Structure 1
Amino acid sequence: MSAEQGNPGATVSGVVAIIRLRESEPDDAIAAALLDGGVGVMEVTLPTPGALGAIRRWSAHPGVLVGAGTVRTVTDADAAIAAGARFLVTPTTVPDVLGVARAAGVPVMCGALTPTEIDLAWRHGATAVKVFPVSAVGGAAYLRAVREPLDDVPLLPTGGVGLADLASYARMGCVGAGVGGALVSADLVAGRRWTAVTERAGAFASAWREGLVRRDA
């Protein structure tokens, strides 16, 4: 999904950086560091202190496509959309949240794990389905098995995704991959190690591109 595109489910083609912090508000330097490394799609989870403020600021940043994560209620969805979130990410499938987003024209990536959950999320109107927590159930091998009967559903593997996983997910046709602590860790943020964030972003973006090349070869 490029930062210029506003429909994640239809056009995702890369890394979604997940910003999930417990004790500090997201520094604007995080967005700049990610963008410098070639990652322009960012999900700020709502339990992160100051999440709505970060979404509001980053949504005005050229080249950044920012959304809200851990959206569980209509109240969450309304607040995130009002703050300028360009997409919503949910841990589960909540029809009321999908309804609010649909009315606002905002894409939603619903969380699901089993084939039944994935299919139900898609049928309820999810733009793409976040397969979570993918690493806990076998990673790429699990996703490959799921895609066999559900090859029309756009999938976004999330949860424990590491650098070594990216090429495989790109090759098998996933619309993107959500990457959290392996990309933006609390330690890097606390130490203001923005160069390290940029380097990690570059490595993840390159791994995704490598997978796409192999897929097309």
Structure 2
Amino acid sequence: MSAEQGNPGATVSGVVAIIRLRESEPDDAIATALLDGGVHVMEVTLPTPGSLGAIRRWSTHGDLLVGAGTVRTVADADAAIAAGARFLVTPTTVPDVLAAARAAGVPVVCGALTPTEIDLAWHRGATAVKVFPVSAVGGAGYLRAVREPLGDVPLLPTGGVSLADLASYARMGCAGAGVGGALVSADLVASRRWAALTERAGAFTAAWNEGRVRRDA
């Protein structure tokens, strides 16, 4: 899903920064720091305080593609879409959420884990499938095995994704990778270390791009 694409046929690509905070609202400096590091796709999880406000503000930025995460109900989907979310990310596959998003013309990345769940989400209309929690079941090794029979499904590994994983996921042809605390950590946000966040974002972007180059070579 590029910044120019907002239709249900678009696909999430590259590093997706997951903003998941428990005690504070997302500072606009988070988005700026991530952008400065080359990360243009951001998922603000709905349980984060002030999540809808952040989505509303950031969605007006032309270089930024902002979506809502942890979307579990139609009410969640409606609120996120009304706030300007350009895509939705769910932890599971909920047909009613897919239907609501489809009616609004908003792509959905559905959460799934097993091959059966992944294929079901894809056939239900998911734009891409978030394989979650990927690190708990073997990381890149698991994704490689899953992609063998499901090579037509855009996969977005999420859950415990680290900097060391990025190049492998890019090389095997994943659509992107969702990165949470390893990128936007609570301690960096609390201490307002925006330069360090930009540095992290740059490292994740570089690792992803390196993997893509090796795949295409």
CA displacement 1:147-192 (0-9 Å, x = unmatched): 0111111100000000010000001010000000000000000000
Question: Equivalent residues in 2 for 1:85-124 (5 A)?
Answer: 85-124=85-124
Q: Secondary structure at the match of 2:72?
A: coil
Change (3 A) 1:125 1:8: closer
Provide the rounded CA distance (Å) in 2 between the counterparts of 1:12 and 1:26.
22
Between the two proteins, what is the percent identity of the paired residues? 89
Give the TM-score of the pair, scaled to structure 2.
0.98
The two structures, once aligned, show a CA RMSD in angstroms of: 1.1
Once the 2 structures are TM-superposed, how far is the Cα of residue 5 of structure 1 from its aligned partner?
3.1
Do residues 82 (structure 1) and 82 (structure 2) align? Answer: yes
Instruction: Give the total of aligned pairs.
Output: 217
Do residues 130 (structure 1) and 130 (structure 2) align? Answer: yes
The residue that corresponds to 2:184 in the other structure is 184
CA displacement 1:29-78 (0-9 Å, x = unmatched): 00000000000100000000000000000001120100000000000000
Once the 2 structures are TM-superposed, how far is the Cα of residue 8 of structure 1 from its aligned partner?
8.2
Provide the rounded CA distance (Å) in 1 between the counterparts of 2:188 and 2:44.
16
Provide the rounded CA distance (Å) in 2 between the counterparts of 1:21 and 1:64.
20
Change (3 A) 1:193 1:89: same
Q: Tell me if structure 2 keeps the 8 A contact 1:112–1:121.
A: yes
CA displacement 1:86-136 (0-9 Å, x = unmatched): 000000000000000000000000000000000000010000000000000
Q: Tell me if structure 2 keeps the 8 A contact 1:19–1:45.
A: yes
Q: Secondary structure at the match of 2:110?
A: strand
Give the TM-score of the pair, scaled to structure 1.
0.98
Once the 2 structures are TM-superposed, how far is the Cα of residue 13 of structure 1 from its aligned partner?
2.8
The residue that corresponds to 1:71 in the other structure is 71
The residue that corresponds to 2:24 in the other structure is 24
